[in-house]
Homo-oligomer: A and B are copies of this chain.
């Protein structure tokens, strides 16, 4: 993409930035035409018209800082470079230096899918989504390598109904309680692999093929399990331009069904992801 197009979203998204939900929009058509791929055509439309209540608001975001755990030891740590101080300038400001995949963060499809959407291209209508929360904490307490299985997805649907159109499916493994301890978060074993829970590839394929979701999320640092070093879940869903959230906090504090997720995803040029403010309301 030409850098000169950066500030003319009209060039990427068509002139109709006013998006009505529902049928195929000008935005999706423009993206499909721009990318010319099956993946783009399959981009989730987002959820249809809905009426929601805002009575509860829960922040699903960890504070990001110098002690925020990193997925790999060699990734650069969070940093702030001072640009102005009260003493010298009468105001306070910094430059942020941060990995795109640190803390509570968003993964854009281009992270693992060549030609997938970047952070600059994610349609806003996919960032306001019914939240489906599946709790596997009992299982992970016994087995750190536990994965979300189709049985658990079916059980959720049996209790709360079919996963809604345009939903975000969130895995509550209880790992957010480890977020202040990098070693506990990574949980590297004698085999050198991280031992933490994640989605199964089977569930990822089901959500890709059988349900119209916008994305998935988890409270660990990786939607794939630590022992899945091929990143199959990332690849399965990013190939069809679904987004991911990692390092989500407080999933135990929102209902399994009925909440709405607001994903404050980054929107920078050519981004593979970035820190995100994630808030649930219901």
Q: With A19-B56, A275-B266 as given contacts, are A91 and B112 in contact (CB-CB < 8 Å)?
A: yes
- What CA separation (Å) do A66 and B5 show in the bound complex? 11
A165 interface residue per 8 A CB criterion: no
- Give the number of copies in the complex: 2
Do A274 and B96 have beta carbons less than 8 Å apart?
Answer: yes
Do B99 and A83 have beta carbons less than 8 Å apart?
Answer: yes
Do B80 and A271 have beta carbons less than 8 Å apart?
Answer: yes
Interface residues of A in 72-127 (CB under 8 A from B): 75-76, 78, 80, 83, 86, 91-101, 103-104, 110-112, 114, 120, 123-125, 127
Give the residue of B4, B83, B98, B264 whose beta carbon is less than 8 angstroms from that of A263: B264
Q: With A4-B67, A54-B52 as given contacts, are A59 and B124 in contact (CB-CB < 8 Å)?
A: yes
Nearest chain B CB to A180 CB, angstrom units: 3
Taking residues whose C-beta sits less than 8 angstroms from the other chain, chain A's interface range is: 35 or more
Do A66 and B269 have beta carbons less than 8 Å apart?
Answer: yes
Do B63 and A269 have beta carbons less than 8 Å apart?
Answer: yes
- What CA separation (Å) do A76 and B20 show in the bound complex? 37
A142 interface residue per 8 A CB criterion: no
Give the residue of B18, B253, B279 whose beta carbon is less than 8 angstroms from that of A17: B253
Do B104 and A267 have beta carbons less than 8 Å apart?
Answer: yes
Q: With A67-B3, A75-B83, A111-B92 as given contacts, are A277 and B269 in contact (CB-CB < 8 Å)?
A: no
Give the residue of B112, B253, B265 whose beta carbon is less than 8 angstroms from that of A18: B253
Of A128, A253, A267, chain B has the most CB atoms within 10 Å of the CB of A267
Do B180 and A7 have beta carbons less than 8 Å apart?
Answer: yes
- A sample of 5 cross-chain residue pairs with beta-carbon separation below 8 angstroms, ordered by A number, consists of A6-B66, A7-B179, A49-B53, A49-B55, A80-B269
